[in-house]
Structure 1
Amino acid sequence: MLQELRKKTPYSQLELAQILGISRETVSAIENEKPGTIDNISIEIIRKWHEACQGHIDDTTEYNFKVLITKFFGF
């Protein structure tokens, strides 16, 4: 889901990583759902990811992102 979100933007993995203050390898691991990776990042990184992508995504992607995050963090 997070890869889909980023791919709707003009950002490469490296560019998004720089915006978020994490490595490109971490962005790749998150996007590829490497076990345990998303468990080790903060909700702040997810919030920044969303903010960076927000102006580029459609309503369906926005909704799917919110559902995923709500389920993951148990909100």
Structure 2
Amino acid sequence: MDLQSSELPVILRNLRKEAGYTQGELALRVGLSRETVSAIENNKPESLRTLQIEVVKKWWSVCRTKAKEETRNNFVNQIVGYFKFITDRL
């Protein structure tokens, strides 16, 4: 999947917001800086290129219980294409 056309940053932002976390709060929970969370959510190519599945899995586990079903479904569909793997790895 092309990094430029990826919806992953938007979906990650939606997950965070629906879970009720600020960028700083989420950063603490997933082990990133607030600046890195911001760069990922703002689709900065250099941040997306270094985005690893472990970070996305933490982001997902922190936010999924509070996110809307539609956002959770969008996340799963997007992540499968982005990392090209089956969903049971989440």
- Structure 1 spans left out of the alignment, 5+ residues: none
C-alpha RMSD of the superposition: 0.9
Counterpart check, 1:54 vs 2:89: no
Residue by residue, what CA displacement relative to the aligned partner does 1:5-31 show, whole Å, maximum 9, x if unpaired? 111012100000000111000000000
Identity %: 44
Residue 83 (structure 2) pairs with residue 70 (structure 1) = no
* Number of corresponding residues: 75
- Cα displacement (A) at 1:36: 2.6
User: Aligned residue for 2:24?
Assistant: 14
* Residue ranges of structure 2 left out of the alignment (5+ in a row): 1-10, 86-90
Give the AA of the match of 2:38: S
Deviation of residue 34 (structure 1)? 0.6
Letter in 1 for 2:56: I
Distance (whole Å) between structure 2 residues aligned to residue 39 and residue 21 of structure 1? 17
CA distance in 2, matches of 1:59, 1:10: 15
Question: TM-score, normalised to structure 1's length?
Answer: 0.93
TM-score of the superposed pair, with normalisation by structure 2: 0.79
Runs of 4+ in 1 over 3 A off after TM superposition: none
What secondary structure is seen at the aligned counterpart in 2 of 1:55?
Answer: coil
